[in-house]
């Protein structure tokens, strides 16, 4: 019961954050200014497909995997990826199921 309530709370909070970003224009500004669109890829995950962006700093460079927070999208992390790339660090960030163009449902674990 507690897990179901937490899942519901996280789902509602996430949807409110995304709605707020859409309503005040922040989401559109980020999407329009996103410079890493050519680095987009799709990661198969069971029956789901997770949208992701891999930014390479070159061959044989270290890499970080970014697991963003609830309500965030890959586009929110562009500034960090630019900084890391400049320091010679590659990065991969993906949208969880139900976020951005990733398929599936938010926070439910269902397909």
Q: Is 31 part of a structural domain of the chain?
A: yes
Residue 110 has pLDDT above 80, yes or no: no
Structure confidence by residue, pLDDT tens digits, 39-74 = 788 899 888 899 898 999 999 999 999 888 777 778
Q: Rounded CA gap, 53 and 38, in Å?
A: 9
Q: What is the pLDDT of residue 63?
A: 94
Domain of 62, in residue numbers: 2-94
Structure confidence by residue, pLDDT tens digits, 76-106 = 788 888 888 999 999 999 988 887 778 887 6
Q: Rounded CA gap, 50 and 101, in Å?
A: 7
Number of domains within the chain: 1
């Amino acid at each position: 019961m507690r897990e179901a309530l937490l899942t519901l709370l996280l789902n509602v909070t996430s949807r409110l954050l995304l709605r707020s970003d859409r309503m005040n224009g922040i989401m559109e500004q980020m999407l329009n200014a996103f410079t890493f669109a050519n680095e987009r890829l799709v990661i198969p995950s069971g029956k789901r497909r997770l949208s992701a962006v891999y930014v390479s700093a070159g061959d044989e460079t270290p890499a970080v995997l970014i697991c963003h927070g609830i309500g965030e999208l890959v586009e929110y992390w562009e500034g960090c990826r630019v900084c890391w790339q400049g320091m010679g660090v590659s990065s991969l960030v993906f949208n969880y199921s139900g976020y951005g163009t990733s398929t599936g449902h938010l926070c439910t674990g269902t397909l």
